[in-house]
Chains A and B, each alone.
Chain A
């Protein structure tokens, strides 16, 4: 449906990613910051968008803009087809069924949806199990649920490398565990958690597992059936799609039995002042006009990464991770925080005697965009006894030259503060 202005997508399979060609697809990468070429290494915060996504958004608003699921007119039909088509694209991407895909504002809303709706059945004495490395968005909704229901929130610890200690996790599981919520990939450390094993262990106690996949889907292929998880949440903007759109996958039999999250239009079958009949999932959980353009843009992003190949992307990013780890470790005074055996392309580090905020300011001066702070994971930072770290996070369009630029900028920070 969209006009493709840039047709420079590498369609070859099994080959290395042609990064130079890929970079041409991302208009925002081609700019100067502080007189230097932009080196964008804040991809765990949000990713830049390929032209295909921008075209999809423009295409919707310039030709097909109408509300969905209501109008009998042509534009509404086109908008509905595109929106439901996006749901099918997401379903294929996760190996789920379209009716198991709920569009949300993002990962945070998806987690809150499960906490409110599925969580409404919890009673005092029930337990919710999370881990020490969770993002605030996978802590706070469960704390709020525990407060509402009298359930107890338990936290599985991690080791010094940033890996969940599975024996401890297992010890915290029990017949009272109702919900397990865990990140697929840690946003602050890059740790790839053994989600399949966690699901298997949790299921032996009858607990349901929600996986926060925000940091996983851009970096590796995800198959919710193979993971055997019950819920899976992710955000569009971290996988080259628009902000304001996200996805909740829920196992059909769970979604079907869950009460609505918000009330409004589209989530109902019939309304009288006496009684309202709720619609079936996924519509039951999509009250109000959805982010139609966002869903269409997200589908374009998923098609884009699928064309490039998730395995090719993963291999390329692993090269960047290895190179960045090596380059930073060579710099005296640098300590990498998070050294798990399996990591996504995220490198959190501290530089002796230099505060992460100062490091990030120097890096920005060199055109290198990174994140400094607690990465919305304050309990995790506390675990490592750090107020903050500097985090470089990579995407499919980053290059080994950019890894060098990062290392050079860190050396500059070290010299300045020496």
Chain B
């Protein structure tokens, strides 16, 4: 099956890849963690401020490909205000879509449905999920950097 390149690099992804949102250090972060993909050199730090069991603020910094940068950017937008359980469920839904296990569902995923095209590029799945694995590690209070390998 030939997938159009534009299915992977959708406008939304290109936009967030070029101009990532919440791209800063969070001074009063309660959690932060580094994530690294040694294969392609993508490296991000995710910062979280958790208050009353919810994501009060979230940001990230680092460098990576368009897919991983856009994923980190859209992730920060998606999880803000959510409880840890809601974040967990969102990641599960996102993971199922980028690995092709589930069809994208805009109702539950919102803008994150833009990453559905990643499923056609198995080697790029790690790019899309690196920020999420890093976020999960940060939430769990891990001090060890997350690595995709």
Q: B-contacting residues of A (Cβ < 8 Å)?
A: 34-35, 354-358, 361-362, 365, 372-374, 378, 381, 386-388, 416-417
Contacts and interface: CB of A to CB of B under 8 A. Distances in A.
A373 B41 CA distance: 7
A416 B40 contact: no
A362 B8 CA distance: 10
B124 A374 contact: no
Contact of B65 (A34, A35, A355, A378): A355
19 contacts: A354-B66, A355-B66, A357-B42, A357-B67, A357-B127, A358-B9, A358-B65, A358-B67, A361-B8, A361-B121, A365-B5, A373-B39, A373-B41, A374-B38, A374-B39, A378-B38, A388-B40, A416-B9, A417-B66
A137 to B, nearest CB: 16
Interface string B1-42: 010010011000010000000000000000000000011111
Nearest to A364: B121
B5 A387 contact: no
B78 to A, nearest CB: 22
B109 to A, nearest CB: 22
Given A357-B124, A357-B127, A372 B66 contact: no
B97 to A, nearest CB: 19
B38 to A, nearest CB: 8
Given A361-B8, A362-B5, A387 B63 contact: yes
A417 B14 contact: yes
Given A355-B66, A357-B124, A387-B40, 13 more contacts: A354-B66, A357-B40, A361-B124, A372-B40, A373-B40, A374-B38, A374-B39, A374-B40, A374-B41, A378-B38, A386-B41, A387-B43, A387-B63
Contacts of A373: 39-41
A356 B63 CA distance: 12
Contacts of A372: 40
A414 to B, nearest CB: 13
Contacts of A365: 5
A358 B127 CA distance: 10
A357 B127 CA distance: 9
Contacts of A35: 2
A23 to B, nearest CB: 24
Contacts, number: 48
Given A355-B66, A361-B8, A387 B41 contact: yes
Contacts of A416: 5, 9
B44 to A, nearest CB: 12
Given A373-B40, A387-B41, A357 B65 contact: yes
Nearest to B4: A365
A68 B4 CA distance: 52
B116 to A, nearest CB: 16
B64 interface: yes
A40 to B, nearest CB: 17
Interface of B: 2, 5, 8-9, 14, 38-43, 63-67, 121, 124, 127
Contacts of B39: 373-374
Nearest to B8: A361
Nearest to B121: A361
B101 to A, nearest CB: 21
B66 A34 contact: no
Nearest to A366: B5
Contacts of A362: 5
A35 B2 CA distance: 7
B80 to A, nearest CB: 26
A387 B39 CA distance: 9
Nearest to A388: B41
Contacts of B8: 361
Nearest to A386: B41
A381 B2 CA distance: 33
Residue of B43, B65, B121 most packed against chain A (CB within 10 A): B65
Contacts of A361: 5, 8, 121, 124
Contacts of B63: 387
Which 4 pairs show the lowest CB-CB distances between chains A and B?
A387-B41, A355-B65, A357-B65, A388-B41
A373 B64 CA distance: 11
Contacts of A417: 9, 14, 66
Contacts of B64: 355
A113 to B, nearest CB: 26
Contacts of B2: 34-35
A328 to B, nearest CB: 20
A388 to B, nearest CB: 5
Contacts of A354: 66
B63 to A, nearest CB: 7
A328 B64 CA distance: 23
Nearest to B65: A355
B3 to A, nearest CB: 8
Nearest to B36: A387
A168 B64 CA distance: 34
